[in-house]
Amino acid sequence: MKIGAIAPSHIPSNTANSIQVMKVCQALAQLGHTVKLWVPGQTTTPWEQLSGYYGVTTPFEISWLPLQPNLKRYDLALSGVNRAAGWQADLVYTWMPQAAVYAQVRGLPVVLEVHDRPTGKLGPWLLRRTVNMRGCKRLAIITRALVRVLEQEFDLPIPPEKVVIAPDGVDLERYDALPDAPSAREMIGLPPQQLTAVYTGHLYAGRGIELLLGLAQAFRQVHFLLVGGNPQSVENCRKQAALAGLTNLTFTGFVENQRLALYQAAGDILLMPYGRIIAGSSGGNTADICSPMKMFEYMAAGRAILSSDLPVLREVLNDSNAAFCAADELDSWKKGFQALLNDPARRQVIGMQAKIDAQGYSWKSRAEATIANLV
């Protein structure tokens, strides 16, 4: 069928939401559907450039729409839905409640992805309107915890038949033939025989960067590889490391998504030091509702995961496929890290189990679940 996707993400950019949108659209295209994505912007970017940047190989059409900033995305919602209708889309797939409401007004079936609490004066009303309007719709909500938040904090009961729990996913094929950790380190210019801990992702609030620096100071025999972050964040972290006299840290800055798996494969331990407060793109705290893409990538890499023990992460992780430490507590992380250093066999066991468990979280299987029997 023809699927018209409408997203507020700026493409290209290194934001997690833009990566997620591109992965979802690729997965829908891989299922054999014709996908067209509308996003905000004035200029176009060639597919060849986007393919490497986002690690997507199955092409789909993208159209950029100029916006008026004072209209707060409503023009994107209206314009995107009108274009999808004119294109004769069989389904609108969106991350915007504004577009979901208007698509239903136009009589179009709709899937709305929900990743966060509704924000703004109209956010809760728009989400409630999406749920309560007549028409064919489905909410793809990233965690069970977020469903509970919507029901309890916003008094928004959602009929179970209208919801699919859709955690983020991973491109499993990119993790099928990874080199062992020493070989991966050699390929990216790191000492192949030095035990290495890897963190991939942004370096801003709630990601546990201060905790990572504390670990690097406590375990100077281990190399710490931090992959990602915007230039200013990377520079700030480098300055902090230099002030602490740390020489066992490498900051790569942004790495294209198509190369990310190799950097994750370079780790003996993969780190997820989320704090109890994680700044989301909306500015609110997402620590109780998040579904990090890196979690599924780490699992697919088949390396030992050391994670903050946040309840929402245990919707996917458990004591068989990860090791846990108390969020924001450096002493707990030192103990957990030391325990994994001392136990290579456990690292291998939980890494292998994580890789097995990752098989249930492909982007393609996620896409199948979100649109199954909808149209």
What domains lie within the chain, and their CATH numbers?
2-166 (3.40.50.2000), 172-358 (3.40.50.2000)
User: pLDDT at position 206, please?
Assistant: 74
Side-chain-side CA neighbours of 138 within 13 Å: the count stands at: 20
pLDDT for residue 283: 62
**Does the pLDDT at position 301 exceed 80?**
yes
Q: Do residues 100 and 137 lie in contact, with contact meaning Cβ atoms separated by under 8 Å?
A: yes
Joined tokens for residue 181: 């950790």
Give pLDDT, residue 170: 98
CB 303 within 8 A of CB 270: yes
Mean pLDDT (the chain) is 95
Mean pLDDT score, 284-307: 96
Using the Cα atoms of residue 330, residue 205, residue 170 and residue 266 in order, give the sign of their dihedral: negative
1-23: average pLDDT:
96
Digit-coded pLDDT (tens) for 212-221: 999 999 999 9
Higher pLDDT, 275 or 71: 275
Q: Across the strands, what pairs with 4?
A: 36, 92
Confidence of residue 67 (pLDDT cuts 50, 70, 90): confident
Say whether pLDDT at 280 is over 70: no
Q: What is the mean pLDDT of residues 312-337?
A: 98
Report the pLDDT value the prediction gives residue 29, as an integer from 0 to 100. Answer: 99
Q: Indicate if the pLDDT at residue 281 is higher than 80.
A: no
What tokens does 155 get? 């008094």
Is 339 in contact with 347 (CB distance < 8 Å)?
no
Mean pLDDT of 198-216: 91
Predicted confidence at residue 284, as pLDDT, reads 76
By C-alpha distance, which of 306, 290, 308 is closest to 354? 306
Question: Is pLDDT of 312 > 70?
Answer: yes
Regarding pTM above 0.85, the answer is yes
| CB hemisphere CA count around 315 (13 angstroms) | 20
- Rounded CA gap, 364 and 142, in Å? 15
Q: Mean pLDDT throughout 62-74?
A: 88
For residue range 124-136, what is the model confidence (pLDDT) as tens digits? 999 999 999 988 8
pLDDT digits (tens, 9 = 90+) for 145-155: 999 999 999 99
Model confidence at 73, in pLDDT bands (50, 70, 90)?
Answer: confident
Share of the chain above pLDDT 90, in %: 91
Stretch 179-201: mean pLDDT, rounded? 98
